[in-house]
Every structure is written in C-alpha cells, then in structure tokens.
Amino acid sequence: MSNSPVRAQAKGAERVSAEGNSAVGEHGVSKRAKAANRKPAEPVEPANSAKAAKAAKPVKPVKPMKATEPVKAVKPAKATKPAKATEPAKPARPAKPESRLAMVRRARRINRELAEVFPYAHPELDFRNPFELLVATVLSAQTTDLRVNQTTPALFAKYPTPEDLAAAVPEEVEELIRPTGFFRAKTKSIMGLAAALRDDFGGEVPGRLEDLVKLPGVGRKTAFVVLGNAFGVPGITVDTHFMRLVRRWRWTESDDPVKIEAEVATIFPKSEWTMLSHRVIFHGRRICHARKPACGACPITHLCPSYGEGETDPEKAKKLLKYEMGGFPGQRLDPPPGYPGRPAPPLGASGG
C-alpha cells in the first residue's frame, strides 16, 4: 500500500516525459517553439469588440492642402560689366577739318546770300557830310546808332562845322550828348578832333587812313567807316558785331580787331570790303545776336558751322528778330531811299 503513491507519481512522470519527447524535433527544439518563431499568434478579440471596431471605423483624415509657395522675388538685373581697363573705347574719328579753299568759298557764298537778304544795307548813322559822320561814329562807342541819331540833330544844329565845335563850351556839349553815355570823355574827343581839323587840315576831314587815325578818339574802325561811306575808299569795319559773326562762321579764330581785319581782307576782293561790313553788321544786329541768335529764322543756316547756338524753333526765333526784320522801326531817323523799314522816332517821342 505504501508503494502505490510512488508508483502513481512515477507513471505520471513517464507520461509527461513521453508527451515532452513527442513535441521535440530532431534538433531538440520544440515544434511549438518553431511555430511560435515563424508567426506570432494574433490575439483573439472578442466577437462583440470586432463588430464594434468595424462599426466605429474612423474616417480617414483629409490631407491638408499644401501651403502655396511664396512668390519668388524678381532677381535684380545683373549690372553690366564695366569695360575692361585694358580695352578702352576707341574715340570717334574727328570730322575732317575744313580746308582753306573750302572756307573761302563758303565765306564768299555767305556774302552773296546776305546781299540778297539785305540789298538795302547801309551805314546806320545819320549824316550829311564827312564831318557829321566822323563825329557820329565817335559818339557811337558803347551805345546804339539809334541813340546817336536821336542826339546829333541838336548837336549839329548848334555846331555845324569843326570850327564851331572846337570853340564850344565843354559843359554845353556835354549836356547835348549826355544820352550817348560817357559824355565827358566823348566831349573831349569830339572837341579835340574838331580843333585838329581846324588847325591841321583846314577844317576838312582828311581822306587817308594815316591822317584819320591821328585825330583824338579815332581808331581804325572809325576811320574805315568814314573812308568807306564818305569817300568811297574800301575798308573793313571791325566792330563788335563783325567780330562775333566772323568767329562764328570760322573765318578767323583771332579776337584782335587788327588781325581780324587783315585775315578777312585776304578772303574777299577789295571792292567788297565796305558792303561786306554793312551786310555782316546788319545780320548781327537783326538776326545773329550776341546772347541769343535767332538760328531758326536765319537764312544762311546751311552755311553756318555754329548753327544751334541760339533758338532753333522757327516760331520762337521769329520773335527775336529786330528792326525791320521784326516789324519795328529802324535806327535811322532819316533812312536812305529803298530802306523797307520805318524811320526811328526822334528823341523823347513815343517808341524812342
């Protein structure tokens, strides 16, 4: 009886051992363990929970829209590369300089065309004899011919001859010529030349350049005005207008009156000198002004190398024209026959 429990326990152990041996593979690994390594067992869910999971299947969330990409900033234009210092730009080829022959031909053509524009060109000082022309020319320094013409009638009415003027009272002469400016210096000059004419030339104005330039207040310009217009002796009058225009036209580069006179004299025949002076001075006073030339109204722009220095608009340029070209009175109170403009008014009159 005492051995029965032991036996029973031994039998149970044998049975367990037999079951254990049946579950072990040839490599001593349990078949169940192999199965477990191959595929893990899925947990069994309760039937009710599976149905609930299906019923409460969540809706897939909507994918958020991609944020719009910011507009890319426009890249600034690349700066142009500066020219290489080793390769400087080639300068433009300078215009071919005008030859002496071409300049002379152009200058003479200007003279011919100005003769057509101003066929009535003349000295713009009123005078009746060489003495009056000489005195009027001296008074015209630093003033206009118009102002001189408005002043000389009273002067010549009181002192008609060199002898009369030489014997005048200086203060009385000063008062008469005051409107011309610099009246004290001018009084000294005209009374001095009157005395020289009385004492050295018998009261007559000489007709030679070398004699005229010896008189007080008389230079080459004044002498040529008198010689050309009172004696018919050709001469070139180089006043401020003449100097300005011949430089603009590139007839000369000098600013010395004597040199300009000599250079221009080589361009034109002697017979043209006096009238050339009148035409150039007329053009300078009426169209080719010092401060603002009326380029747009100029008849010789095709011959002028300085075109564009002044107003080029035709309508604006037309308003810059002076004297008869602009429809205004001229400078002479007593203009010569054939002058197309209106006479200037006397001193003190309306428009004077």
Contacts by residues 307-316 (CB-CB < 8 Å, ≥ 24 positions apart): 309/248
What whole-number distance in Å separates Cα of residue 231 and Cα of residue 130?
A: 8
Asked if 149 contacts 333 with a C-beta cutoff of 8 angstroms, the reply is yes
The residues, ordered by sequence, that sit 6+ positions from 177 with a Cβ below 8 Å of its Cβ are 139, 151, 155, 183, 186, 187, 190
Burial of 160 (0-12, 13-18, 19+ CB in 10 A): middle
List alpha helices for the chain, DSSP H.
Answer: 4-22, 31-38, 47-55, 100-117, 130-139, 145-158, 162-166, 170-177, 183-200, 209-212, 220-230, 240-248, 257-265, 273-286, 314-318
Does the annotation mark 255 as catalytic?
no
Return the exposure string of 296-319: e unless at least 16 CB atoms fall within 10 Å of the residue's CB, then b. bbbebeeebeebeebbbeeeebee
- Choose, from 221, 255, 259, 270, the residue flagged as catalytic: 221
Does the annotation mark 221 as catalytic?
yes
Helix, strand, or coil here: 72? coil
Return the exposure string of 136-155: e unless at least 16 CB atoms fall within 10 Å of the residue's CB, then b. bbbbbbeeebbbbbbbbeeb
What whole-number distance in Å separates Cα of residue 259 and Cα of residue 262?
A: 5
What whole-number distance in Å separates Cα of residue 291 and Cα of residue 309?
A: 9
- Choose, from 211, 239, 270, 318, the residue flagged as catalytic: 239
Active site members = 221, 239
